[in-house]
Amino acid sequence: MSQYAFAVYPISTTAAGARCIVVPALDYGHDLAAMAAAIEATTRLVWIANPNNPTGNFLPYPQLKSFMAEVPKDVAVVLDEAYNEYLPPHMRDDATHWLNEFPNLIITRTFSKIYGLAGLRGGIRCRCARCR
């Protein structure tokens, strides 16, 4: 995860008994090259919030797709798009189109930010070999 990741990511990771690998931020956002380089043989999950919480940095979708192509297929990537609806329409993309190409991709969104339905979560289950 990035240095300035959503506070729940390290809490969830350590609660699951895993070790956090924190990658220094690039301009208060995700340094995807450094994150890819930090993946170890024991890495099982990468957290990415886009737009990032709490800094608000945004990664263009072509950069994210290139990152996904670098990540080993047995490492799940959580793409947290909780603030996606706040992006201007011309910046939004639909990463769900990548699910067939990247079965290790998990996309999370929420209704609590834009629609005020706190506590209601939606997600798409990872279909990588490890999670089946």
Q: With respect to residue 118, please indicate whether it lies within any of the assigned structural domains.
A: yes
Per-residue pLDDT of the chain (132 residues; tens, 9 = 90+): 999 999 999 999 999 999 999 999 999 999 999 999 999 999 999 999 999 989 989 999 999 999 999 999 999 999 999 888 788 888 888 888 999 999 999 998 876 666 666 666 666 666 766 666
Answer yes or no: is 129 within a domain.
Answer: no
User: How do strand 76-80 and strand 105-110 relate by DSSP bridges?
Assistant: parallel
Q: In whole angstroms, what is the distance from residue 23 CA to residue 28 CA? A: 11
Helix residue spans in the chain (DSSP H): 8-15, 32-38, 61-70
Residue 131 in any domain: the answer is no
Residue 65 covered by a domain? yes
In a domain, 130, yes or no: no
Q: How far apart are the first and last CA of the chain?
A: 24
Instruction: State which residues form the domain around 88.
Output: 8-123
Q: Total domain count for the chain? A: 1
Give dist(CA 19, CA 32) in Å, integer. Answer: 19
CATH label of the domain that carries residue 81: 3.40.640.10
Query: In whole angstroms, what is the distance from residue 126 CA to residue 107 CA?
Result: 8
- What is the residue type of 99? L
pTM to 2 decimal places: 0.84
On the CB side of 88, CA atoms within 13 Å amount to 3
Question: Do residues 81 and 109 lie in contact, with contact meaning Cβ atoms separated by under 8 Å?
Answer: yes
Give domain status of residue 71, yes or no: yes
